Amino acid sequence: MDPVLLIALPLFTAFLIPVARRIWKPSAEVLPFLTLGFNLYLMISYIPRALKAPIVVVIANWKPPLGINLTIGPLGLFLALIITFIAFLVAIYSIWYIRVEPKEKYCMLCMMLVTGSLGMVLTGDIFNMFVFMEITSISAYALTAFIRDRDGSEAAFKYLMIGSLSSNFVLLGILLIYVGTGTLNMADIASKMPSMDPRLAMAAVILMVVGLGVESEMFPLNGWAPDAYSMAPAPIAAVFGAIVVKGAVYALARMIYTIFNFHSLFYFLVIMGIITLLIGEMSALRQKQIKRMLAFSSIGQMGLILVALGLGTMGGLVAGLFQILNHAILKALLFLAAGYLVYHSGSKNIADMDGMGKRTPILALSFTIGAFGIMGLPPLNGFWSKFFVISETVKSHYIVIASLILLGSVIEAVYYLRVVGRLFFKPAGENIKAEPLPLSGFISMFVLVLAAIVIGLYPNWVMHLLQPAARELLDKQFYIHSVLGQ
């Protein structure tokens, strides 16, 4: 089976949904489910081959460096598995949750977002990555404004302005790279980078880091995130936090590790990451709306991932990639649970969710497991990834950074336990609808809880996939040789 199907099938499904819906009404829900399920099966079948050496897919018989190629290495496959898995569960969840009428537009935009993100992590050409980043961003802008009220449009406008400005910066960076090296293939740029004028390379890397930092929520550039996460519908907020941001962090890591070789950038990433972590956690402490609080918590966790990616060692990279996996699972679980919490209690404020633990126990339990995972309590997966990040930070002699991470974790524990305590230990309010949880929501949350517990009990299963992925990112010559040496 040709690996191009991984990207082409969701795109085809996105355009098929409006047509198919005229013929058979429920096809808007069934088609994404089938497509993403097939994608998952295809990706799992590529795992044995991709772990030995990256699969390079030559498109239209133009070999790299002249043609555009897909590079399905261990890192790309790992991220693509996370993206497809979370999108599959969100597609199941939205079967019941999204009941306003332009439903085929929602499913179509969701599929376009998945196409864009899969293309971003699987491609080997820098302009192709820019095009897929634009596809992802435009679908994200439209999905933020999906609920047609005033706040949704304002959040979408903010996101659109900052996002398209950052895309233009990325395009300028790509232009400068093209001027300096004369090629657009990532492996070829990496091999020609030493011969590029250092001032041109410095300008290019600054533009790229600012442009990609907006999408990956680095400190001064994340003003769009709280509004966009809180005003989008809950499954879309889960998709943002688990899919869009991970694609951008992958692009940033690919720039800094494989393409450019400025060593001071690693230190910059660590500093920016720790500032993002602290500001995100401290802002989350003041929030009174649950989705906004989860958005700031997501910003804080991305700061943690940036610290781990900025360490520059093999252990740091493995820890960062593990944290990416755990954050995707747990944040998706938290947003999906928050969607039903908002629905059942009728408002987004935390104060109106008192005592839901007694009326809707399964829902509150899912939220609690997500919260405990992000805080890092032992039998769940968040414990292992946070432990590895902190121990790698200490091993690289950044003791102050490690203590600041621990401080951030304490602040995180405060605001999550505040919500959990209100859910379980306060008397219930009056206007809580005590309907039973719909089956689609229950299945998606249950699978995520199961994933969190299983990865927490057996982390070594995942670490086997992460070691080759980290090696692909760290070892430039290996990547260049496997793409160009064909």
Partner 1 sequence: MIYYLASISLILIGTYAILTKKNLIKIVLGLSMIESGVNILLVSIGYVHGKTAPIFSNLSMKASQMVDPVPQALVLTAIVIGLAVTAMALGIVIRLYDHHKTLNIDRIRQLKW
Which residues contact partner 1 (rule: CB under 8 A)? 127, 131, 134, 138, 141-142, 145, 148-151, 153-158, 160-161, 164-165, 167-168, 171-172, 174-175, 178-179, 184, 226-227, 230-231, 283, 286
Token pair 């706040």 in the structure block, residue: 151
Structural tokens at position 405: 């991470």
Query: How near is the Cβ of 22 to partner 1 at its closest, in Å?
Result: 24
Taking the complex as a whole, how short is the minimal distance between the CB of residue 132 and partner 1, in angstroms? 11
Alpha carbon distance 247, 262 (integer Å): 22
Q: What is the C-alpha to C-alpha distance for residues 321 and 309, in angstroms, rounded to an integer? A: 8
Query: In the bound complex, what is the minimum distance in angstroms from residue 167's beta carbon to partner 1?
Result: 8
Closest by CA to 367, choosing from 452, 482, 465, is 452
* Three-state DSSP state, 172: helix
- Which ranges constitute the DSSP H helices of 24-102? 27-52, 74-97
Query: What's the min distance (Å) between Cβ of 171 and partner 1?
Result: 6
Do 28 and 456 contact (CB within 8 A), yes or no?
no
User: HSE (CB half, 13 Å, CA atoms) of 205?
Assistant: 24
**Tokens 């899919």 sit at which residue?**
243
User: Tokens for 444?
Assistant: 């998606």
Which residue, 155 or 190, has its beta carbon nearer to partner 1?
155
Annotate 326-370 with DSSP letters as a single string.
HHHHHHHHHHHHHHHHHHHHSSSBGGGGTTHHHHSHHHHHHHHHH
Backbone angles phi, psi at 28, to 5 degrees: -65, -25
- Cα separation of 367 and 370, whole Å? 5
Are 241 and 229 contacting, i.e. CB atoms less than 8 angstroms apart? yes
Nearer to partner 1, 222 or 366 (CB): 222
Nearest distance in Å: CB 163, partner 1:
9
Token look-up 């927490």 returns: 456
Sign of CA dihedral 285, 286, 292, 295: negative
Closer residue to partner 1 (CB): 158 or 254 = 158
Q: For residues 305 and 286, give the distance between their C-alpha atoms in angstroms, rounded to a whole number.
A: 23
Q: How far is the CB of 196 from partner 1 (least distance, A)?
A: 15
Task: Tell me whether residue 98 or residue 138 sits nearer to partner 1 (CB atom).
Answer: 138
Single-letter residue type at 157: F
User: Alpha helix locations (H) across 396-438?
Assistant: 399-425
Nearer to partner 1, 174 or 309 (CB): 174
Q: Find, among 163, 123, 118, the residue nearest to 140 by Cα.
A: 163
Q: How many CB atoms lie within 10 A of CB 349?
A: 13
Closest distance between partner 1 and the C-beta of residue 227, in Å?
A: 5
Min dist. Cβ of residue 175 to partner 1 (A): 6
Q: Taking the complex as a whole, how short is the minimal distance between the CB of residue 158 and partner 1, in angstroms?
A: 8
